[in-house]
Amino acid sequence: MFRRAAITCSDRLSRRLVRRVLRAIGSPSIRVVLWDGAEIVGSDAREVARVLIHDRPTLLKLVFHPELHFGDAYTDGRIEVEGDFSQFLETVYRAMAAAPQRVGRVRARITQWINRRHRNTIRGARASIHRHYDIGNDFYRLWLDDEMVYSGAYFPSPDATLEEAQAAKLDYVCRKMWLKPGEHVVEIGGGWGALALHMARHYGVKVKSYNISHRQTVYARERAKAEGLNDRVEFIEDDYRNISGRFDALVSLGMLEHVGVEHYRDFGAMMDRCLGPTGRGLIQVIGQNRPTWLNWWIERQIFPGAYPPSPRQLSAIFEPWEFSLLDLENLRLHYAKTLRHWLARFESSADVVREMFDERFVRAWRLYLAGSAAAFATGSLQLFQALFARPALNQLPSTRAGLYESIPALGIRNQRAELDEVGGT
Amino acid sequence: MFRRAAITCSDRLSRRLVRRVLRAIGSPSIRVVLWDGAEIVGSDAREVARVLIHDRPTLLKLVFHPELHFGDAYTDGRIEVEGDFSQFLETVYRAMAAAPQRVGRVRARITQWINRRHRNTIRGARASIHRHYDIGNDFYRLWLDDEMVYSGAYFPSPDATLEEAQAAKLDYVCRKMWLKPGEHVVEIGGGWGALALHMARHYGVKVKSYNISHRQTVYARERAKAEGLNDRVEFIEDDYRNISGRFDALVSLGMLEHVGVEHYRDFGAMMDRCLGPTGRGLIQVIGQNRPTWLNWWIERQIFPGAYPPSPRQLSAIFEPWEFSLLDLENLRLHYAKTLRHWLARFESSADVVREMFDERFVRAWRLYLAGSAAAFATGSLQLFQALFARPALNQLPSTRAGLYESIPALGIRNQRAELDEVGGT
């Protein structure tokens, strides 16, 4: 009898704690089911998913810092989600965005302290990049497009395939920089080489492409050789801080995220060294509307040392050297759509991935891909494409109209803008 | 004999001082001619103009602060320029941009101190705006386009007229905001009413347009009445800090320059109050690549209290309220071209302007218009068009392609981007 009362009391406490967690994340319309079958709903709205919490320690960790511990608990299977996983994440992201200040001072300090471990020094950056990008080309080939482009695509029309959208993105970037045959281009963070090869193939430029992922560099070099482009494209395994030489254009897609705001001065100084008096460049980077921490779990488990800048923070790579910002485009819904494509392909290869790694890996990457899609779809993350140039450069395209003509060479038809949600289902 | 020696000595000093001024502004390829006929060249390159300095006190002032005193001396006729005035100014701007740090600490302090006089409080702003915009609608009608648009135009093709380019700009702005019939729009700094009337006429929206220039407001109201649009467009003579109500879109062309960085918080707070959850807006503002003072003479004589923000400074009106930057376009060469059109029309009406005011006014405004053209053409000034929205707004045009289709309603043909200098002669 005493024992029963204790359990009831403890159950009551658990439910109170769940309610507290739900309130802290803005009361999303989800149902939480505890290990003993108790059910608690987040709001009166129709629930989009059921979240099963399998034990009390997991709940206690969630109380301490939901954003911090959900990821690990989901990875371990101590938390499971019934219902559409992507829709569940979007619902939570939307609720969190609408909730007032979520992270208290103590938790922010802890996050700060842990983030400090991942310092983007030359050595630290190499370790962080190795951990994510060197886990296997075969793995990435399972769910990326044919060209293996691992950054947000550009969908010229709502029904474009992932392959078309990545090709369109590569070409869009080249046209934004109005590349001309014979020019010299430096790329920072070249991935598996798709953009560098595209530039050499279609625009007749010479490219030096830098990367600190060993396996990506080896792979890209093989592609250049197989295509007979290795006289025009050089893949170099080195840090952006060691780049030398003068170039007509500089391009970097999805790499600045790994630099960290405290190193933007180094990055800008490198751009200033590399670009001649008529130089221009394009940076594509995941960003935020205002400075807050990257999702703690992503930073720890997926992208050590990563940080998405706000426009103000981004300006720190331009202003000290008087670079002129020519065009900044926000393509966040295109990234949401890209991630949904990746997630769908990932899920259809889940068994292969499980063979390669294990179930925990599958769950962690599912959360990373679906969570990122939700973050872009709900406006927690942005995708900035920033075009810049030396201040006195006047040989510019007079308008942006040329970017939107059809490109028969790539089989891309004339783009029509439609007033619909790119990210829509 | 003693007297002759003294003169020679003084002449030698004068020449030394001229050389010093020329070095301070980056040794432009101009020739300076002194009151006694002495000639000094700025560089070995072919000279583009001869600058006549008529007396010693003027030279001494130029030594103290060339940027500061040239304007007044030119206005008074104590300095004259022989040769193409615009080309002379561009040459000087280009030399100054290439020269190392031009303004020492003492001179910067003085500039700062004098700038402080023009505080953009509600009362201060009204006085500053009155001084520029209320000097006479008839005067502005002499050299602006038919619709009286007093902000940078957009030239969809290199041979567009000023009238076409201003109409294209108004429409470009509307399409960027994807205005829909029945929506409510608030405009801040509506000038003589052209944009508000264009929006109501072509996009079927309701507009509240704020302005603190009395004469502009009266003029705009008369136009709305004459066009039968006064049930859809309301012109209100009041400060942006007093705006109330909720709107679907917010637009402001060439007004934020007058707000001053120290009031960006007020401006952003107003945007946050005014825009609903699906709200978006467009700000067109003259800017800079990095924060420096506006040309001192312009600030004192033409635009009291004005300041062109850098992208970092501009972000202060967005980030605290989590507005999402969607599209930032730099149209500086379009403004250079606009100003050349204005200058040409101004010069052909110079006699009428002299009748209305006096010779000093003609000279001051010539310097202002030609100097601004030079500043945009040489990259000292930028023109930013920034489109922003609430963070969760997903009903966006999927690409920007729709902006570049032809607009038969306005007689604007399909725009082609050509790789040539908009500002080219």
Residue B286: beta bridge partners?
A: B383
pLDDT at B192 over 80: yes
Q: How far is CA A106 from CA A71, A102, A103, A109, B230, in A?
A: 20, 12, 8, 5, 56
Domain annotation covers residue A300: yes
Sorting pLDDT into bands at 50, 70 and 90, what band is A132? confident
Beta-carbon contacts below 8 Å between A and B: 183
Residues B303, B178 share a domain: yes
CB B389 within 8 A of CB B289: no
- Nearest-CA residue of chain A relative to B322? A289
Q: Which residues of chain B make contact with A418, given a CB cutoff of 8 A? A: 397-398, 402
Which domain covers residue B81, as residue numbers? 2-102
Give the per-residue pLDDT at B46.
Answer: 86
Domain annotation covers residue B421: no
Give the per-residue pLDDT at A423.
Answer: 38
Which of A 314-353 lie inside 8 A of B, CB atoms?
Answer: 315-316, 318-320, 322-330, 332-333
Lowest mean pLDDT among A317-321, B123-127, B275-279: B123-127
Q: Which residues of chain B make contact with A280, given a CB cutoff of 8 A? A: none
Residues A289, A254 share a domain: yes
Interatomic CA distance for residues A154 and A14, integer angstroms: 46
Give the per-residue pLDDT at B112.
Answer: 66
Residue type at B112?
A: Q
Q: Which residues of chain B make contact with A319, given a CB cutoff of 8 A? A: 289-291, 310-312
Q: How far is CA A77 from CA A287, A301, A360, A361, in A?
A: 30, 16, 8, 11
Interatomic CA distance for residues B120 and B257, integer angstroms: 11
Task: Give the residue among B386, B132, B383 at the shortest CA–CA distance from B271.
Answer: B386
Give the per-residue pLDDT at B118.
Answer: 65
Whether A415 contacts chain B with CB within 8 A: yes
Interatomic CA distance for residues A263 and A317, integer angstroms: 9
Contact between chains at B326 and A327 (C-beta distance less than 8 A) = no
Whether A283 contacts chain B with CB within 8 A: no
pLDDT at A217 over 70: yes
The distance between the two most distant Cα atoms of chain A, rounded to a whole number of Å, is 86
Sorting pLDDT into bands at 50, 70 and 90, what band is A68? confident
Whether B374 contacts chain A with CB within 8 A: no
Distance from CA of B313 to the nearest CA of A (A): 8
pLDDT at A425 over 50: no
Give the per-residue pLDDT at B104.
Answer: 62
Interatomic CA distance for residues B396 and B373, integer angstroms: 35
Give the per-residue pLDDT at B122.
Answer: 85
Q: How far is CA A281 from CA A263, A269, A385, B22, B325, in A?
A: 19, 14, 10, 34, 20
CB A84 within 8 A of CB A48: yes
Interatomic CA distance for residues B364 and B298, integer angstroms: 9
Interatomic CA distance for residues A175 and A249, integer angstroms: 12
CATH code for position B67: 3.30.1050
Highest mean pLDDT of the ranges A410-424, B90-104, B145-159: B145-159
Interatomic CA distance for residues A295 and A301, integer angstroms: 10
Interatomic CA distance for residues B413 and B164, integer angstroms: 11
Closest by Cβ to A401, choosing from B291, B320, B416: B416
Whether A370 contacts chain B with CB within 8 A: no
Count of all residues that appear for chain B in the document: 425
Task: Look at strands A184-188 and B233-237 and give their pairing.
Answer: unpaired
Residues B145, B76 share a domain: no
Interatomic CA distance for residues B272 and A4, integer angstroms: 54
Contact between chains at A392 and B379 (C-beta distance less than 8 A) = yes
Domain annotation covers residue B417: no
Identify the burial level of B181 via C-beta atoms within 10 angstroms of its C-beta, where 0-12 means exposed, 13-18 middle and 19 or more buried: exposed
Interatomic CA distance for residues A369 and A371, integer angstroms: 5
Contact between chains at A319 and B328 (C-beta distance less than 8 A) = no
Q: What is the mean pLDDT of chain A?
A: 89
Residue B324: beta bridge partners?
A: B389
Sorting pLDDT into bands at 50, 70 and 90, what band is B376? very high
Q: Which residues of chain B make contact with A419, given a CB cutoff of 8 A? A: 178, 395-398
DSSP symbols for B374-396: HHHHTTSSEEEEEEEE-TT----
Contact between chains at A417 and B400 (C-beta distance less than 8 A) = yes
Domain annotation covers residue A318: yes
CB B170 within 8 A of CB B284: no
Interatomic CA distance for residues B121 and B65, integer angstroms: 29
Task: Give the residue among B222, B255, B227, B253 at the shortest CA–CA distance from B240.
Answer: B255
Domain annotation covers residue B112: no
Highest mean pLDDT of the ranges A200-214, A411-425, B88-102: A200-214
Handedness of CA A349, A353, A359, A364 (dihedral sign): negative
Sorting pLDDT into bands at 50, 70 and 90, what band is B44? confident
| b (16+ CB within 10 A) / e for A23-59 | ebbbbbbbbbbbeeeeebbbeeeebbbbbebbeeebb
CB B248 within 8 A of CB B277: no
Neighbours of B255 (CB within 10 A): 23
Closest by Cβ to B97, choosing from A97, A325, A391: A391
Interatomic CA distance for residues B263 and B121, integer angstroms: 9
Contact between chains at B398 and A391 (C-beta distance less than 8 A) = no
pLDDT tens column, B278-323? 999 999 999 999 988 767 788 878 888 889 999 999 999 999 999 9
Structure tokens at B243: 């705006």
Mean pLDDT of A260-288: 96
Give the per-residue pLDDT at B294.
Answer: 67
Residues A89, A223 share a domain: no
Mean pLDDT of B364-390: 97
CB B210 within 8 A of CB B245: no
Closest by Cβ to B419, choosing from A315, A323, A397: A397
Structure tokens at A271: 């751009």
Mutating which of A178, A180, A393, A394 best tests the B interface, going by the most B Cβ atoms within 10 A? Answer: A394
Closest by Cβ to A319, choosing from B312, B322, B417: B312
- Nearest-CA residue of chain B relative to A399? B417
Q: How far is CA B11 from CA B21, B27, B59, in A?
A: 15, 20, 12
Angle, vertex CA B419, rays to CA B417 and CA B424, nearest 5: 105
Neighbours of A216 (CB within 10 A): 25
Whether B278 contacts chain A with CB within 8 A: no
pLDDT tens column, A80-131? 999 999 999 999 999 988 876 655 666 667 666 666 656 788 888 888 888 7
Residues B132, B68 share a domain: no
Closest by Cβ to A395, choosing from B315, B379, B421: B421
Task: Look at strands A247-253 and A382-389 and give their pairing.
Answer: unpaired
Give the per-residue pLDDT at B144.
Answer: 97
Lowest mean pLDDT among A25-39, A376-390, B90-104, B363-377: B90-104
**Which residues neighbour A13 within 8 Å (Cβ) at sequence distance 6 or greater?**
none
Distance from CA of A21 to the nearest CA of B (A): 23
pLDDT at A183 over 90: yes
Task: Give the residue among B220, B227, B178 at the shortest CA–CA distance from B195.
Answer: B220
Sorting pLDDT into bands at 50, 70 and 90, what band is B101? low
Distance from CA of A80 to the nearest CA of B (A): 27
Count of all residues that appear for chain A in the document: 425
Residues B83, B168 share a domain: no
Sheet with A31-33, side-by-side order of all strands = A39-41, A31-33, A49-53, A79-83
Interatomic CA distance for residues B110 and B188, integer angstroms: 32
Task: Look at strands A79-83 and A49-53 and give their pairing.
Answer: antiparallel
pLDDT at A299 over 50: yes
CB B30 within 8 A of CB B51: yes
Contact between chains at B290 and A394 (C-beta distance less than 8 A) = no
pLDDT, greater one: B380 or A10: B380
Handedness of CA A172, A174, A180, A181 (dihedral sign): negative
Whether A3 contacts chain B with CB within 8 A: no
Highest mean pLDDT of the ranges A37-51, A223-237, A296-310, B60-74: A223-237
DSSP symbols for B89-139: HHHHHHHHHHSS--S-HHHHHHHHHHHTTS--SHHHHHHHHHHHHTS-HHH
Residues B139, B31 share a domain: no
CB B219 within 8 A of CB B144: no
Which of B 98-137 lie inside 8 A of A, CB atoms?
Answer: none
Domain count, chain A: 2
Structure tokens at B313: 């400074």
Report helix angle A214-226 to A194-203, nearest 10. Answer: 30
Residues B126, B93 share a domain: no
Closest by Cβ to B326, choosing from A324, A330, A378: A330
Residues A376, A256 share a domain: yes
**Which residues neighbour B57 within 8 Å (Cβ) at sequence distance 6 or greater?**
none
Tokens 């200033």 — which residue?
A272
Q: Which residues of chain B make contact with A311, given a CB cutoff of 8 A? A: 311, 315, 318-319, 325
Give the per-residue pLDDT at A300.
Answer: 78
Domain annotation covers residue B66: yes
For the full predicted model, state whether its pTM sits above 0.80.
yes
pLDDT, greater one: A312 or B416: A312
Sorting pLDDT into bands at 50, 70 and 90, what band is B22? very high
Domain annotation covers residue A417: no
Domain annotation covers residue A375: yes
| b (16+ CB within 10 A) / e for A88-118 | bbbbbbbbbbeeeebbeeebeeebeeebeeb
Give the per-residue pLDDT at B206.
Answer: 98
Residue B153 backbone phi and psi in degrees, to 5? -85, 175
Residues A157, A86 share a domain: no
Mutating which of A393, A399, A400, A422 best tests the B interface, going by the most B Cβ atoms within 10 A? Answer: A399
CATH code for position B323: 3.40.50.150
CB A217 within 8 A of CB A211: yes
Give the per-residue pLDDT at B410.
Answer: 59
Residues B194, B59 share a domain: no
Mean pLDDT of A382-403: 95
Mean pLDDT of B223-252: 97
Residues B96, B137 share a domain: no
Contact between chains at A312 and B316 (C-beta distance less than 8 A) = yes
Sorting pLDDT into bands at 50, 70 and 90, what band is B136? confident
CB B403 within 8 A of CB B172: yes
Contact between chains at B394 and A333 (C-beta distance less than 8 A) = yes
Distance from CA of A358 to the nearest CA of B (A): 36
pLDDT tens column, A171-180? 999 999 999 9
